Amino acid sequence: GLEIPPPVVEFALERLTRRNLTNCHFIECNANVDARNVTRAIRAAGGRVKTVTVQFPDPHFKEKHKKRRVTTPQMVADVAEALRE
């Protein structure tokens, strides 16, 4: 998972450890800015992106809040590229 607030990432990583889960990870970053770099790094390391989900994006419908949207056309294109490979 890609999350911005560090406490959310720390909480999620602690839950992974407690449950002994090894097939996922959480990263502190901005999905709109870093999705392409993260998915490319995963693939470069020999990994594969099988699934991407977006949980509870903030719906900013007004044009003046466009920069705050989580699901931008570029982010969707970056995720689609990662899933095709």
Q: What is the pLDDT of residues 3-60, one digit of tens each?
A: 678 888 899 999 999 999 988 888 888 887 888 898 899 889 998 888 888 877 767 7
Predicted local distance difference test score (pLDDT) of residue 16: 93
Length reported for the chain: 85
Q: Which of 7, 24, 58, 61 is catalytic?
A: 58
Alpha-carbon distance of 55 to 43, in angstroms, equals: 23
Question: Is the pLDDT higher at 64 or at 59?
Answer: 64
Active site residue 78: no
**Reported confidence tier of residue 1, pLDDT bands at 50, 70, 90:** low
Predicted local distance difference test score (pLDDT) of residue 45: 93
Alpha-carbon distance of 61 to 52, in angstroms, equals: 23
Over its C-alpha atoms, the chain yields an Rg (Å, rounded) of: 14
The candidate with the shortest Cα–Cα distance to 24, out of 59, 60, 53, 56, is: 53
CB within 8 Å of 2: residues ≥ 6 apart = 26, 27, 29, 30, 31, 34, 35, 38
